[in-house]
Amino acid sequence: MKKIMENKKLVTLIGLIPIIILILVIVINITYSANEEGTNVNNITQEQVVEGIKISEGLIIQDKGIYNYTAKVTNTTSTTSYIEYITLSFYDKDNKKLTTLYGYVGREVAPNEEVPVSASVDKNITSATRVDIEVKK
């Protein structure tokens, strides 16, 4: 009788293992999805050249309620240029201004040199379809 009871416990335990594994997989997937960071929500790729400074590869990444815009700044002139900051004005499809951000560079940029620029805001800018720039030298 004791052996039959031990066999029933073993069968029950073996039957519960797949259920426990399934529950763990579901919990881990839900937790990972809720905490996923750096989601690319918008790709603003149009290039702009202002005063010999090219802005390209614009990208908005959302991370826990903060929207970070990153882009490449390239000096297209034949001389070194000091760039203080880039003013970034975001517009939606109806040409409504969403916000203005400032991407700090703060250094000399050699001819054809690329440097990253970024700016963050806690306002949703994912509906932006255009970014206008101004260069402060």
Q: For 3-41, how does the pLDDT look when each residue is reduced to its tens digit (9 = 90+)?
A: 665 666 666 767 667 777 767 666 555 544 443 444 555
CB 87 within 8 A of CB 68: no
Q: Which residue has the tokens 């000096």?
A: 75
pLDDT in tens, 32-83: 444 344 455 566 767 889 999 999 888 888 888 899 988 999 999 999 999 9
Which pLDDT band, with edges at 50, 70 and 90, does 128 fall under?
Answer: confident
What does the pLDDT read at residue 38? 47
What does the pLDDT read at residue 36? 42
pTM of this structure: 0.66
What CATH number labels 39-136? Answer: 2.70.50.60
What does the pLDDT read at residue 62? 86
Taking Cα atoms as reference points, which of 68, 39, 35, 74 lies closest to residue 53? 74
**How far apart are alpha carbons 50 and 46 in whole angstroms?**
13
CB atoms within 10 A of CB 91: 17
